[in-house]
Amino acid sequence: PGNVRELQHLVERAIIMSEGTETRLADFIVEAGRPKFKPGEILNLEDMEKITIENAIARYRGNISKAAKDLGLGRTTLYRKINKYGI
Protein backbone atom coordinates (compact mmCIF):
# COMPACT_ATOMS: atom_id res chain seq x y z
CA PRO A 1 0.00 0.00 0.00
CA GLY A 2 1.13 3.50 -0.79
CA ASN A 3 -0.54 5.37 2.06
CA VAL A 4 -2.52 4.93 5.27
CA ARG A 5 -5.87 4.80 3.46
CA GLU A 6 -4.65 2.02 1.16
CA LEU A 7 -3.26 0.14 4.17
CA GLN A 8 -6.63 0.47 5.91
CA HIS A 9 -8.42 -0.95 2.84
CA LEU A 10 -5.91 -3.80 2.64
CA VAL A 11 -6.48 -4.73 6.29
CA GLU A 12 -10.28 -4.43 5.98
CA ARG A 13 -10.28 -6.67 2.91
CA ALA A 14 -8.04 -9.23 4.63
CA ILE A 15 -10.41 -9.34 7.61
CA ILE A 16 -13.40 -9.84 5.33
CA MET A 17 -11.61 -12.55 3.32
CA SER A 18 -10.34 -14.44 6.37
CA GLU A 19 -11.95 -17.80 7.06
CA GLY A 20 -12.07 -17.67 10.82
CA THR A 21 -11.36 -15.52 13.81
CA GLU A 22 -7.72 -14.95 12.89
CA THR A 23 -6.28 -13.13 9.90
CA ARG A 24 -3.38 -14.93 8.20
CA LEU A 25 -0.76 -13.80 5.69
CA ALA A 26 -2.66 -15.65 2.96
CA ASP A 27 -5.61 -13.31 3.52
CA PHE A 28 -3.40 -10.37 2.57
CA ILE A 29 -1.90 -12.05 -0.49
CA VAL A 30 -5.32 -12.17 -2.16
CA GLU A 31 -5.18 -8.37 -2.42
CA ALA A 32 -1.98 -8.47 -4.45
CA GLY A 33 -3.53 -10.66 -7.11
CA ARG A 34 -1.63 -12.57 -9.74
CA PRO A 35 0.70 -10.86 -12.16
CA LYS A 36 -0.62 -10.47 -15.69
CA PHE A 37 2.69 -11.60 -17.15
CA LYS A 38 5.25 -14.32 -16.53
CA PRO A 39 8.39 -13.51 -14.53
CA GLY A 40 11.24 -12.74 -16.91
CA GLU A 41 8.87 -12.02 -19.78
CA ILE A 42 9.74 -8.93 -21.81
CA LEU A 43 6.74 -6.71 -22.40
CA ASN A 44 6.44 -4.04 -25.04
CA LEU A 45 5.56 -0.50 -23.99
CA GLU A 46 1.90 -0.84 -24.97
CA ASP A 47 1.48 -3.96 -22.82
CA MET A 48 3.15 -2.19 -19.90
CA GLU A 49 0.93 0.86 -20.36
CA LYS A 50 -2.21 -1.29 -20.48
CA ILE A 51 -1.25 -3.15 -17.29
CA THR A 52 -0.41 0.12 -15.54
CA ILE A 53 -3.77 1.63 -16.51
CA GLU A 54 -5.65 -1.50 -15.41
CA ASN A 55 -3.85 -1.42 -12.05
CA ALA A 56 -4.63 2.26 -11.50
CA ILE A 57 -8.31 1.77 -12.33
CA ALA A 58 -8.47 -1.21 -9.97
CA ARG A 59 -6.65 0.69 -7.23
CA TYR A 60 -9.27 3.46 -7.35
CA ARG A 61 -12.16 1.02 -7.82
CA GLY A 62 -13.12 2.36 -11.23
CA ASN A 63 -12.82 6.06 -10.35
CA ILE A 64 -11.39 7.37 -13.62
CA SER A 65 -10.66 10.85 -12.27
CA LYS A 66 -8.50 9.49 -9.44
CA ALA A 67 -6.79 6.95 -11.71
CA ALA A 68 -6.02 9.66 -14.28
CA LYS A 69 -4.58 11.95 -11.61
CA ASP A 70 -2.42 9.12 -10.23
CA LEU A 71 -1.15 8.35 -13.73
CA GLY A 72 -0.46 12.01 -14.51
CA LEU A 73 -3.00 12.01 -17.36
CA GLY A 74 -6.09 14.01 -18.15
CA ARG A 75 -9.41 12.17 -17.96
CA THR A 76 -9.93 12.52 -21.72
CA THR A 77 -6.52 10.99 -22.41
CA LEU A 78 -7.20 8.13 -20.02
CA TYR A 79 -10.58 7.42 -21.63
CA ARG A 80 -8.88 7.36 -25.05
CA LYS A 81 -6.32 4.84 -23.80
CA ILE A 82 -9.05 2.74 -22.16
CA ASN A 83 -10.79 2.52 -25.54
CA LYS A 84 -7.49 1.85 -27.33
CA TYR A 85 -6.66 -1.11 -25.08
CA GLY A 86 -10.22 -2.38 -24.69
CA ILE A 87 -10.16 -2.02 -20.92
Q: Domains in the chain and their CATH numbers?
A: 1-33 (no CATH), 36-87 (1.10.10.60)
Q: How many residues does the chain have?
A: 87
Q: What is the pLDDT along the chain (87 residues), one digit of tens a residue?
A: 566 777 777 777 777 766 777 777 666 654 445 556 666 667 778 888 888 888 888 888 899 999 999 889 999 999 999 999 998
Contacts of 76 (CB under 8 A, 6+ apart): none
For residue 53, count CB atoms less than 10 angstroms from its CB and return exposed for 0-12, middle for 13-18, buried for 19 or more.
Answer: buried
